[in-house]
Amino acid sequence: MIKMAFFDTKPYDRIWFDRLKDDYGIKIKYYESKLNSDSVVMAKDYDGVIAFVNDDLDKSTIDTMVDMKMKLIALRCAGYNNVDLKAAKNKIDVVRVPKYSPYAVAEHAIGLLLCLNRRIHRAYIRTKDFNFSLNGLTGFDLRGKTVGVIGTGKIGQVFIDICRGFGMKILAYDIYPSMENVEYTDIDTLCKKSDIISLHCPLTKETKHIISKKTIEKMKPGVFILNTSRGALINSDDLAESLKNGKIGGAALDVYEEESDIFFEDRSSEIINDDTLRILLSMPNVLITSHQAFLTNEALENIARVTLENIHSYFEKNTITNKVEG
Protein backbone atom coordinates (compact mmCIF):
# COMPACT_ATOMS: atom_id res chain seq x y z
CA MET A 1 0.00 0.00 0.00
CA ILE A 2 1.18 3.54 -0.81
CA LYS A 3 2.05 5.49 2.35
CA MET A 4 1.82 9.29 2.41
CA ALA A 5 2.46 11.80 5.21
CA PHE A 6 -0.11 14.59 5.28
CA PHE A 7 1.06 17.89 6.82
CA ASP A 8 -0.73 21.01 8.10
CA THR A 9 -3.91 18.99 8.64
CA LYS A 10 -7.18 20.71 9.49
CA PRO A 11 -10.51 18.99 10.25
CA TYR A 12 -12.00 20.06 6.93
CA ASP A 13 -9.03 18.51 5.07
CA ARG A 14 -9.72 15.03 6.38
CA ILE A 15 -13.38 14.75 5.38
CA TRP A 16 -12.87 13.93 1.69
CA PHE A 17 -9.41 12.38 1.99
CA ASP A 18 -10.78 9.90 4.54
CA ARG A 19 -13.76 9.11 2.30
CA LEU A 20 -11.68 8.51 -0.82
CA LYS A 21 -8.22 7.27 0.20
CA ASP A 22 -9.13 3.56 0.36
CA ASP A 23 -10.48 3.70 -3.19
CA TYR A 24 -6.95 4.53 -4.35
CA GLY A 25 -5.09 2.14 -2.04
CA ILE A 26 -3.38 4.95 -0.13
CA LYS A 27 -2.59 5.01 3.58
CA ILE A 28 -2.36 8.51 5.06
CA LYS A 29 -0.74 9.61 8.30
CA TYR A 30 -2.05 13.02 9.33
CA TYR A 31 0.14 15.62 11.06
CA GLU A 32 -1.09 18.99 12.33
CA SER A 33 2.42 20.41 12.05
CA LYS A 34 3.43 22.36 9.00
CA LEU A 35 6.04 20.73 6.83
CA ASN A 36 9.53 22.22 7.15
CA SER A 37 13.13 21.17 7.61
CA ASP A 38 12.46 20.20 11.25
CA SER A 39 9.14 18.38 10.91
CA VAL A 40 10.00 16.47 7.74
CA VAL A 41 11.68 13.72 9.82
CA MET A 42 8.18 12.65 10.93
CA ALA A 43 7.64 11.41 7.37
CA LYS A 44 10.42 8.83 7.60
CA ASP A 45 9.50 5.52 5.95
CA TYR A 46 6.74 7.16 3.90
CA ASP A 47 6.66 7.26 0.10
CA GLY A 48 5.95 10.97 -0.08
CA VAL A 49 4.21 13.95 1.46
CA ILE A 50 0.91 15.72 0.88
CA ALA A 51 1.59 19.42 1.39
CA PHE A 52 -0.28 22.73 1.37
CA VAL A 53 0.46 26.36 0.48
CA ASN A 54 2.11 27.34 3.76
CA ASP A 55 4.33 24.30 4.11
CA ASP A 56 7.99 25.21 3.65
CA LEU A 57 9.51 23.00 0.99
CA ASP A 58 12.87 24.70 0.83
CA LYS A 59 16.17 23.11 -0.19
CA SER A 60 16.85 21.77 3.30
CA THR A 61 13.44 20.11 3.54
CA ILE A 62 13.71 18.61 0.07
CA ASP A 63 17.27 17.37 0.62
CA THR A 64 16.12 15.57 3.76
CA MET A 65 13.24 13.99 1.85
CA VAL A 66 15.64 12.79 -0.82
CA ASP A 67 17.97 11.35 1.83
CA MET A 68 14.98 9.47 3.26
CA LYS A 69 14.34 8.08 -0.25
CA MET A 70 10.96 9.75 -0.63
CA LYS A 71 9.77 9.99 -4.20
CA LEU A 72 6.85 12.41 -4.40
CA ILE A 73 5.64 15.79 -3.18
CA ALA A 74 1.88 15.93 -3.77
CA LEU A 75 0.63 19.49 -3.37
CA ARG A 76 -3.06 19.68 -2.51
CA CYS A 77 -3.23 23.17 -4.00
CA ALA A 78 -2.60 24.97 -7.28
CA GLY A 79 0.22 27.28 -6.18
CA TYR A 80 3.77 26.04 -5.77
CA ASN A 81 5.79 29.15 -4.92
CA ASN A 82 6.61 27.54 -1.55
CA VAL A 83 8.58 24.76 -3.28
CA ASP A 84 12.25 25.07 -4.21
CA LEU A 85 11.91 23.53 -7.65
CA LYS A 86 15.64 23.80 -8.35
CA ALA A 87 16.38 21.66 -5.31
CA ALA A 88 13.72 19.15 -6.36
CA LYS A 89 14.72 18.86 -10.01
CA ASN A 90 15.81 15.35 -10.99
CA LYS A 91 15.61 14.28 -7.33
CA ILE A 92 11.96 14.21 -6.33
CA ASP A 93 8.82 14.78 -8.38
CA VAL A 94 6.25 17.46 -7.58
CA VAL A 95 2.58 17.30 -8.57
CA ARG A 96 -0.29 19.67 -7.83
CA VAL A 97 -4.02 20.32 -8.20
CA PRO A 98 -4.12 22.84 -11.05
CA LYS A 99 -7.82 23.52 -10.62
CA TYR A 100 -10.36 22.49 -8.02
CA SER A 101 -13.19 25.03 -8.17
CA PRO A 102 -12.63 28.33 -9.94
CA TYR A 103 -16.17 29.20 -8.90
CA ALA A 104 -15.29 29.00 -5.21
CA VAL A 105 -12.50 31.57 -5.46
CA ALA A 106 -14.22 33.88 -7.94
CA GLU A 107 -17.45 33.92 -5.93
CA HIS A 108 -15.52 34.70 -2.75
CA ALA A 109 -13.84 37.62 -4.50
CA ILE A 110 -17.26 38.97 -5.49
CA GLY A 111 -18.49 38.44 -1.93
CA LEU A 112 -15.56 40.44 -0.59
CA LEU A 113 -16.28 43.24 -3.06
CA LEU A 114 -19.97 43.42 -2.15
CA CYS A 115 -19.23 43.30 1.57
CA LEU A 116 -16.51 45.96 1.40
CA ASN A 117 -18.42 48.29 -0.89
CA ARG A 118 -21.71 48.21 1.05
CA ARG A 119 -19.97 48.00 4.45
CA ILE A 120 -21.94 44.85 5.29
CA HIS A 121 -19.30 43.72 7.82
CA ARG A 122 -19.60 47.03 9.68
CA ALA A 123 -23.40 47.03 9.51
CA TYR A 124 -23.51 43.52 10.98
CA ILE A 125 -21.43 44.58 13.99
CA ARG A 126 -23.55 47.71 14.50
CA THR A 127 -26.90 45.96 14.48
CA LYS A 128 -25.64 43.33 16.93
CA ASP A 129 -25.32 46.28 19.34
CA PHE A 130 -28.76 47.61 18.31
CA ASN A 131 -27.13 50.48 16.44
CA PHE A 132 -29.24 51.00 13.32
CA SER A 133 -27.61 54.20 12.08
CA LEU A 134 -26.75 54.32 8.37
CA ASN A 135 -24.02 56.92 8.75
CA GLY A 136 -20.77 55.85 7.10
CA LEU A 137 -22.31 52.92 5.23
CA THR A 138 -22.70 54.51 1.79
CA GLY A 139 -21.38 52.46 -1.13
CA PHE A 140 -21.59 52.74 -4.90
CA ASP A 141 -23.39 50.96 -7.73
CA LEU A 142 -21.26 48.28 -9.38
CA ARG A 143 -23.14 48.69 -12.65
CA GLY A 144 -21.14 50.77 -15.09
CA LYS A 145 -17.92 50.61 -13.09
CA THR A 146 -14.70 49.37 -14.68
CA VAL A 147 -13.05 46.34 -13.11
CA GLY A 148 -9.45 45.57 -14.01
CA VAL A 149 -8.71 41.85 -13.85
CA ILE A 150 -5.06 40.85 -13.55
CA GLY A 151 -4.86 37.20 -14.62
CA THR A 152 -7.43 35.55 -16.89
CA GLY A 153 -6.99 31.88 -16.11
CA LYS A 154 -9.94 29.74 -14.98
CA ILE A 155 -10.64 31.82 -11.85
CA GLY A 156 -10.21 35.14 -13.62
CA GLN A 157 -12.58 34.03 -16.38
CA VAL A 158 -15.30 33.06 -13.90
CA PHE A 159 -14.80 36.34 -12.04
CA ILE A 160 -15.19 38.27 -15.31
CA ASP A 161 -18.40 36.41 -16.15
CA ILE A 162 -19.87 37.33 -12.77
CA CYS A 163 -18.84 40.97 -13.16
CA ARG A 164 -20.55 41.08 -16.54
CA GLY A 165 -23.72 39.95 -14.81
CA PHE A 166 -23.49 43.07 -12.65
CA GLY A 167 -23.21 45.22 -15.79
CA MET A 168 -19.58 46.13 -15.19
CA LYS A 169 -17.00 47.05 -17.82
CA ILE A 170 -13.99 44.74 -18.04
CA LEU A 171 -10.32 45.46 -18.63
CA ALA A 172 -7.84 42.58 -18.47
CA TYR A 173 -4.11 42.08 -18.21
CA ASP A 174 -2.33 38.78 -18.67
CA ILE A 175 1.09 37.84 -19.99
CA TYR A 176 -0.67 35.06 -21.90
CA PRO A 177 -4.10 36.38 -23.03
CA SER A 178 -6.59 33.53 -23.25
CA MET A 179 -10.09 35.02 -23.44
CA GLU A 180 -12.07 36.19 -26.40
CA ASN A 181 -14.43 39.18 -26.20
CA VAL A 182 -12.33 40.78 -23.45
CA GLU A 183 -10.39 44.00 -23.81
CA TYR A 184 -6.77 43.26 -22.92
CA THR A 185 -4.47 46.14 -22.11
CA ASP A 186 -1.14 46.88 -20.44
CA ILE A 187 -0.84 47.13 -16.68
CA ASP A 188 -0.44 50.92 -16.66
CA THR A 189 -3.65 51.47 -18.63
CA LEU A 190 -5.52 49.00 -16.44
CA CYS A 191 -4.41 50.90 -13.34
CA LYS A 192 -5.39 54.28 -14.79
CA LYS A 193 -8.88 53.28 -15.92
CA SER A 194 -10.10 50.78 -13.31
CA ASP A 195 -12.44 51.58 -10.43
CA ILE A 196 -11.78 48.12 -8.99
CA ILE A 197 -8.71 45.91 -9.50
CA SER A 198 -8.88 42.18 -8.78
CA LEU A 199 -5.89 39.86 -8.74
CA HIS A 200 -6.22 36.34 -10.17
CA CYS A 201 -2.68 35.50 -11.29
CA PRO A 202 0.00 33.15 -9.91
CA LEU A 203 2.95 34.43 -7.92
CA THR A 204 6.05 34.50 -10.11
CA LYS A 205 9.14 36.67 -10.40
CA GLU A 206 7.22 38.81 -12.88
CA THR A 207 4.11 39.23 -10.74
CA LYS A 208 5.63 39.68 -7.28
CA HIS A 209 4.57 43.12 -5.98
CA ILE A 210 2.68 43.84 -9.18
CA ILE A 211 0.70 46.13 -6.89
CA SER A 212 3.22 48.51 -5.33
CA LYS A 213 3.88 52.22 -4.96
CA LYS A 214 4.82 52.40 -8.65
CA THR A 215 1.52 51.00 -9.93
CA ILE A 216 -0.62 52.53 -7.16
CA GLU A 217 0.52 56.01 -8.22
CA LYS A 218 -1.10 55.39 -11.62
CA MET A 219 -4.45 54.31 -10.17
CA LYS A 220 -7.64 56.33 -9.82
CA PRO A 221 -8.15 57.97 -6.42
CA GLY A 222 -10.44 55.76 -4.35
CA VAL A 223 -9.78 52.53 -6.28
CA PHE A 224 -10.72 49.23 -4.62
CA ILE A 225 -8.16 46.39 -4.55
CA LEU A 226 -9.16 42.71 -4.29
CA ASN A 227 -6.71 39.85 -3.80
CA THR A 228 -7.73 36.19 -3.61
CA SER A 229 -4.56 34.81 -5.23
CA ARG A 230 -1.22 35.17 -3.42
CA GLY A 231 -0.28 37.70 -0.77
CA ALA A 232 3.05 38.74 -2.28
CA LEU A 233 1.33 40.07 -5.40
CA ILE A 234 0.87 43.18 -3.27
CA ASN A 235 3.54 45.15 -1.42
CA SER A 236 1.73 45.27 1.92
CA ASP A 237 3.53 48.34 3.25
CA ASP A 238 2.75 50.32 0.09
CA LEU A 239 -0.88 49.19 0.31
CA ALA A 240 -1.17 50.30 3.93
CA GLU A 241 0.36 53.70 3.19
CA SER A 242 -1.94 54.26 0.21
CA LEU A 243 -4.97 53.35 2.31
CA LYS A 244 -3.87 55.81 4.98
CA ASN A 245 -3.45 58.69 2.55
CA GLY A 246 -6.71 57.90 0.74
CA LYS A 247 -5.26 56.99 -2.66
CA ILE A 248 -6.82 53.53 -2.30
CA GLY A 249 -10.44 53.63 -1.22
CA GLY A 250 -10.63 50.10 0.10
CA ALA A 251 -8.95 46.69 0.07
CA ALA A 252 -10.40 43.19 0.40
CA LEU A 253 -7.78 40.52 0.96
CA ASP A 254 -8.09 36.76 1.35
CA VAL A 255 -4.31 36.43 1.33
CA TYR A 256 -1.46 38.34 2.91
CA GLU A 257 2.22 38.66 2.11
CA GLU A 258 3.42 37.34 5.48
CA GLU A 259 0.55 34.95 6.18
CA SER A 260 2.46 31.69 6.50
CA ASP A 261 2.82 31.75 10.31
CA ILE A 262 -0.54 33.43 10.97
CA PHE A 263 -3.33 32.28 8.68
CA PHE A 264 -5.24 29.00 9.15
CA GLU A 265 -4.67 29.14 12.92
CA ASP A 266 -6.48 30.60 15.93
CA ARG A 267 -4.28 33.50 17.06
CA SER A 268 -6.99 35.28 19.06
CA SER A 269 -5.14 34.94 22.38
CA GLU A 270 -1.77 36.01 20.98
CA ILE A 271 -0.09 39.31 20.21
CA ILE A 272 0.63 39.43 16.49
CA ASN A 273 4.05 40.92 15.88
CA ASP A 274 3.22 42.18 12.42
CA ASP A 275 2.68 45.92 12.48
CA THR A 276 1.53 46.11 8.86
CA LEU A 277 -1.16 43.48 9.35
CA ARG A 278 -2.32 45.16 12.56
CA ILE A 279 -2.61 48.49 10.72
CA LEU A 280 -4.60 46.91 7.91
CA LEU A 281 -6.96 45.15 10.33
CA SER A 282 -7.56 48.43 12.20
CA MET A 283 -8.84 50.23 9.09
CA PRO A 284 -12.60 50.42 8.48
CA ASN A 285 -12.11 50.23 4.70
CA VAL A 286 -10.12 46.98 4.81
CA LEU A 287 -11.68 43.52 4.85
CA ILE A 288 -9.45 40.49 5.47
CA THR A 289 -10.39 36.82 5.42
CA SER A 290 -7.97 34.03 6.25
CA HIS A 291 -7.28 32.38 2.88
CA GLN A 292 -10.74 30.80 2.78
CA ALA A 293 -11.69 31.54 -0.82
CA PHE A 294 -11.16 27.88 -1.81
CA LEU A 295 -13.23 26.56 1.08
CA THR A 296 -16.35 24.99 -0.43
CA ASN A 297 -17.50 21.37 -0.27
CA GLU A 298 -17.08 21.04 -4.02
CA ALA A 299 -13.53 22.37 -3.95
CA LEU A 300 -12.51 20.16 -1.01
CA GLU A 301 -13.81 17.06 -2.79
CA ASN A 302 -11.98 17.97 -5.99
CA ILE A 303 -8.75 18.71 -4.11
CA ALA A 304 -8.85 15.30 -2.41
CA ARG A 305 -9.82 13.39 -5.53
CA VAL A 306 -7.18 14.98 -7.81
CA THR A 307 -4.45 14.70 -5.17
CA LEU A 308 -5.18 11.02 -4.64
CA GLU A 309 -5.39 10.40 -8.39
CA ASN A 310 -2.00 12.10 -8.82
CA ILE A 311 -0.47 9.84 -6.16
CA HIS A 312 -2.10 6.66 -7.48
CA SER A 313 -1.02 7.38 -11.06
CA TYR A 314 2.54 8.03 -9.97
CA PHE A 315 3.05 4.88 -7.92
CA GLU A 316 0.69 2.41 -9.60
CA LYS A 317 0.69 3.50 -13.24
CA ASN A 318 4.16 5.03 -13.44
CA THR A 319 2.53 8.16 -14.86
CA ILE A 320 3.18 11.69 -13.64
CA THR A 321 -0.05 13.66 -13.76
CA ASN A 322 -0.20 17.42 -13.12
CA LYS A 323 3.56 17.63 -12.73
CA VAL A 324 5.17 20.90 -11.66
CA GLU A 325 8.13 21.57 -13.89
CA GLY A 326 11.27 23.05 -12.35
Catalytic-residue membership of 76: no
| Residue pLDDT, tens place only, 26-69 | 999 999 999 999 999 999 999 999 999 889 999 999 999 999 99
For the chain, what is the mean pLDDT? 96
Exactly one of 76, 96, 119, 230 is catalytic; which is it? 230
Rounded-to-integer distance, Cα 71 and Cα 315, Å: 9
Instruction: Inform me whether the pLDDT recorded for 326 exceeds 80.
Output: no
Cα–Cα distances (Å) from 252 to 152, 249, 266, in that order, read 19, 11, 20
Exactly one of 291, 305, 309, 312 is catalytic; which is it? 291
Contacts of residue 308, defined as CB under 8 A and 6 or more positions apart, other chains included, come to 17, 20, 21, 23, 24, 26
Q: Kindly report the number of other CB atoms within 10 A of residue 4's CB atom.
A: 24
Contacts of residue 196, defined as CB under 8 A and 6 or more positions apart, other chains included, come to 113, 145, 146, 147, 148, 168, 223, 224, 225, 226
Exactly one of 119, 259, 305, 309 is catalytic; which is it? 259
CATH class of 2-100+296-316: alpha beta
Q: Report residue 99's pLDDT band, with 50, 70 and 90 as the boundaries.
A: confident
| Residue pLDDT, tens place only, 143-167 | 999 999 999 999 999 999 999 999 9
Q: Where in the chain is the domain with CATH 3.40.50.720?
A: 2-100+296-316, 102-288
Note the pLDDT of residue 79. 86
| Residue pLDDT, tens place only, 186-232 | 999 999 999 999 999 999 999 999 999 999 999 999 999 999 999 99
Task: Match domain 102-288 to its CATH number in 3.40.50.720, 3.30.470.20, 3.30.70.2740, 3.30.43.10.
Answer: 3.40.50.720
Helices 297-316 and 11-20, axial angle in degrees (round to 10): 50
Name the 3-class secondary structure at 312: helix
Catalytic-residue membership of 107: no
| Residue pLDDT, tens place only, 222-259 | 999 999 999 999 999 999 999 999 999 999 999 999 98
Contact between 239 and 288 under an 8 Å Cβ cutoff? The reply is: no
* Mean pLDDT value across residues 281-289: 96
Contact between 250 and 224 under an 8 Å Cβ cutoff? The reply is: yes
Catalytic-residue membership of 164: no
